[in-house]
Amino acid sequence: MVEESEYLFILETNGILIDRDYAEALSRFHKLHVRVSLKGASEEEFSILTGALPTGFSRQLQALEHLLAQGVSVHPALMVSFSTRESIGRLREEMRRIDPSLERELEEEYVLPYPHVVERLKEAGLKPTQAYD
């Protein structure tokens, strides 16, 4: 149905499950764009935000590499509200190393402090360093 549609389909993912085979399967779709929503700008931030092992962070970056290698339209996004300037800088360097287009197209997001979001962050013990008011 994606290919038959007049619309572009945007797949949003953290990328953790996208290996070479998955990227190859996605490459068959020409009306597809993948937005890889990075959880943190470093292994440490990834682990704090997700509760997962820090090594999972690199799987997100590998997903970007696999998608690019297969010619899939892709761009990264990062919730910068929980990242340091230093970690964002290091991530930008890594993006340039993978492919300069990733660094140029990195979409920065900021947490919006809706009441339910504030409550969930409080429950998780997280406090954004930057947010819209």
Domains of the chain by residue range? 9-124
> What pLDDT digit, counting tens, does each position of 20-73 carry?
999 999 999 999 999 999 999 999 999 998 889 999 999 999 999 999 999 999
Distances 20 to 30, 56, 65, 66, 90 between C-alpha atoms, Å: 18, 16, 9, 5, 25
Confirm whether pTM is higher than 0.75. Answer: yes
